[in-house]
Amino acid sequence: MCQLLGMNCNVPTDIVFSFEGFHRRGGLTDHHADGWGIAFFEERGCRLFLDYLPSISSPIAELVRAYPIKSRNVIAHIRKATQGTVNLANTHPFRRELWGQYWIFAHNGNLDSLPSLQGSRFQPVGDTDSEQAFCWLLDALAKRFDVAPTYDALHTALKSLTAELADRGSFNFLLSNGEVLFARCSTDLHYIIRRAPFSTAHLADADVSVDFSSVTTPDDRVAVIATQPLTDNETWTRMDSGQLLMFVDGEPVA
């Protein structure tokens, strides 16, 4: 299966520390070596970096490690291919426009079958189950809502629609439009909320620590979501199977 990483904050924050551990899971501390990608929202825009190389040896990963891009919503993915060949078209995260907003999606799991996309304006470019599921999900939302709904209404719709897809296989995913971040657990997904008083965190995949009290303000709040905990000295919350959380300003609100 793949590895997911998400971040949702109340102020623009860089993900350098989490990414330092996360990128090692793409071929060094874990066997996920079929490409990787990361998306940073900046206001209404989105920077999307993709590579079909393993993240541990990717020059683009080195760029991300050295470039502290600040964002309130980030989604990253390390791929272990189950469906589709290893190429850029099949590399997560995927991006589409809906209601005049960019939507970013990354999936960990395997879907045995998928609903038809005949007649949909959302069509996959690659040949993964993940991208097809993303297109179906956006098409279903577009049919339900002519304009962007309230986030409570969107959460309710997503809970119903994603349960339908989860009946077809394993469906862990992260989804964001740059304002909120949705996280759904099917098998493995964990999160942590960092807020004042901040402490020192140590990575599980490298001997690297950071004292967050020295790089934050008392008002900062950061939610980090990952397939497996990224640190070994903090308490992460394991999500329940079938749970869909909506993160806003660095904390779950649904």
Give the pLDDT score at 27: 82
- CATH, domain 3-253, list 3.40.50.300, 3.40.190.10, 1.10.260.40, 3.60.20.10: 3.60.20.10
Is 46 a residue of the active site?
no
Give the pLDDT score at 32: 76
Tokens 């793409």, residue? Answer: 26
| Mean pLDDT of successive 10-residue stretches along the chain, which has 254 residues | 93 94 87 89 96 94 93 93 82 97 95 88 93 96 96 96 92 97 97 95 95 92 97 97 97 87
Helix (H) or strand (E) holding 60: helix 59-66
Residue from 2, 46, 135, 185 carrying the catalytic annotation: 2
Give the pLDDT score at 18: 95
3-state secondary structure at position 32: coil
Tell me if 73 sits within 8 A of 175, measured CB to CB.
no
Give the pLDDT score at 139: 96
Residue 174 CA to chain centroid, in angstroms?
4
Half-sphere exposure of 146 (CA within 13 A, CB side): 0
Give the separation between CA 154 and CA 141, rounded to whole angstroms.
Answer: 8
Query: What phi, psi does 20 have (nearest 5°)?
Result: -60, -40
Tell me if 25 sits within 8 A of 205, measured CB to CB.
yes
Query: What phi, psi does 177 have (nearest 5°)?
Result: -115, 10
Give the pLDDT score at 123: 95
Give the separation between CA 239 and CA 244, rounded to whole angstroms.
Answer: 9
Tokens at 229, concatenated: 């905990």
